[in-house]
Structure 1
Amino acid sequence: MRELIQAALAKAGDNQEINTFKKISGGDINEAFQVTTSENSYFIKANQQVPRHFFQMEVKGLELIRGTETIPAPTVYHYDLPENGGPGVMVMEWIHGTRKDDTGKRLGRQLAAMHQSQHDYYGLDGDTFVGTLTQPNGWYEDWPSYYREKRLLPQMKLADSQGLLHAGRRKRLEQLITKLDEWLPKQPGASLLHGDLWGGNWMAGPGGQPYLIDPSVLYGDRSFELAFTELFGGFPEGFYEAYNEVYPLPDSYADQKELYQLFYLIVHLNLFGESYGPSVDRVLQHYIG
């Protein structure tokens, strides 16, 4: 692995020998390292077996976020396009800092500003990843169609193939999918969304400045993003108040929140098994009865 990373650093333009090579906690999918040379400090992700576009789509997401000039995301110096199933490395700037009293408010304000960067269509022009699962995408003229066809249906089919849909769960899920238009706006703003924004996918940098990391971007209803932030926590005091001061959520958000959380619950059902089944059933019961 060290030789693979040394080669990636050379491709990034740093030909100095590695001084510090430290494995760190970086999530369940990739190995993560803090690496320093005499020129710079780096955060490096490495994976022994990834699809060819695995890092490419993450880089695209980081570039889209930075392009809004609203909230920072790490700079990428190099990433591999490995042969499918081969090893890959992604070299990024090392971000280090601690949260300040106003970090949560800054995160809320800056995310709200990012969500005001919008597209004419919903979705994305390339497949991304949610966890280790491929997330299919495409462009749609209305939001419920995208959410139905690219979010809920693929996860439902995967759950079915893994034997995770008992008869009652399958029936309620099918009913909910056919009724999405009753609950979701047809054409909300197509905001740029991080797409996987839980508490582990943002961090504090220098001066307490929040940074977004590990995106799985799309253009969609911003309520989808905010709903996920509430599912597993990890957002500091002042975040939601500050967000709403800049870009108030619609009154319908409370009614839609669990419907948007359902996607991520089914993803977790597919990744981690039946321990998430009762949460899926609770949401289905809420909407379908």
Structure 2
Amino acid sequence: MKKLDQEWINQLPLKNVQSLSPVSGGDINDSYQVKTPDHVYFMKVQPGRGKQFFDHEVEGIHLLSQAANVPTVVSSGEINGDGFLILDWIDVGSGNQYDLGKMVANVHKVHNDQFGLDHNFDAGKIPKNNHWQDTWQKFYVEQRIDPLVKIAAKKGRWNDSRDQHYQVMRQQIIDYYTKHPVTPSLLHGDLWSGNAIFTSKHEPMLIDPDVYFGDREYDLGVTTVFGGFDRDFYRGYNDTYPIEPGFENRVGWYRFYYALVHVVLFGETFGPLLDGILSSFN
């Protein structure tokens, strides 16, 4: 974690900063609690990444706010080449997963006429090509899973066995969506349980988005990889925006992507998870 000196802190768009304390905030950002005499903030910093790193998150929060409870953006910008994002501090509590499921379903009801987003996200560890596409299979195969496989291969985390199963899965995706086109939905894009929280007022909230418009089953597939979502979540979702029949046969297409992301970022610790998912594609 980069040490932020007083000269850096003085450039923040906050008056009378009394304290700045490191807090847990994931593996990607340096995270801090910032206190002033009359307010508490949550700040994320990306050393050396510039303002553009958080522009995508700010847009994502704005888009999700159409249908979800999200953090309040106070400011974002750049200090000495470091990107920063300041949000209102959130006191975390507990809540009803049924309500969370309803909220995610309402996000997915925000539709678009194409798949993708109005900008790419190139500042992260895994660049995202969000170029607009008319079909989900073209977007997901050519702009998500194929590029990720290439990155894994370059890192030495791909092999012939994985590729054999992957080619079967890849063709399944193309064949299915050619015959079963879907409507582009607004996606959170990184919907693991750590990014779906409850406030101290028991309200569900979505944080840390990586938004684009895609098949809503992608978000649902991600929720199944590491758990944390119970039956009430899926019941709330299904009561609000029913899942299409046969989802259990498609969920592996999206579990695969999220598992491979973890293999690319963190290594073969997640290899058994990836191989277990791929083994069903013969």
Give me the identity figure in percent. Answer: 32
Alpha-carbon separation, structure 1, partners of 2:230 and 2:11: 39
1:170-181 to 2 correspondences below 5 Å = 170-181=163-174
1:52-71 to 2 correspondences below 5 Å = 52-66=51-65, 68=66, 70-71=67-68
1:1-289 to 2 correspondences below 5 Å = 1-3=4-6, 4-8=8-12, 10=13, 14-15=14-15, 17-50=16-49, 52-66=51-65, 68=66, 70-81=67-78, 86-100=81-95, 103-128=96-121, 132-184=125-177, 186-236=180-230, 238-287=232-281, 289=282
Check 1:22–1:151 CA distance in 2 against 1; reply closer, same or farther (3 A cut): same
Counterpart residue type for residue 95 of structure 1: I
Alpha-carbon separation, structure 2, partners of 1:108 and 1:273: 31
- The count of corresponding residues between Structure 1 and Structure 2 is 277
Structure 2 gaps of 5+ residues are: none
Q: Is the 8 A contact 2:76 2:85 kept in 1?
A: yes
Alpha-carbon separation, structure 2, partners of 1:231 and 1:131: 21
Alpha-carbon separation, structure 2, partners of 1:171 and 1:181: 16
* Secondary structure of the corresponding residue to residue 258 of structure 1: helix
Counterpart residue type for residue 76 of structure 1: V
Check 1:230–1:107 CA distance in 2 against 1; reply closer, same or farther (3 A cut): same
String of CA shifts for 1:241-266, please: whole Å, max 9, x gaps.
11111111011211100111111111
Give me the TM-score of the superposition, normalised by structure 2: 0.91
Check 1:210–1:6 CA distance in 2 against 1; reply closer, same or farther (3 A cut): farther
Structure 1 gaps of 5+ residues are: none
* Secondary structure of the corresponding residue to residue 163 of structure 1: coil
Using the TM superposition, give the Cα deviation of residue 22 of structure 1 relative to its aligned residue in structure 2, in angstroms.
1.9
Larger deviation: 276-285 or 246-255? 276-285
Alpha-carbon separation, structure 1, partners of 2:180 and 2:5: 50
In terms of fraction of residues, the more strand-rich structure is 1
Q: List structure 1 segments (4+ residues) > 4 angstroms apart after TM superposition.
A: none
Give the alignment's Cα RMSD to 1 decimal. Answer: 2.0
Give me the TM-score of the superposition, normalised by structure 1: 0.89
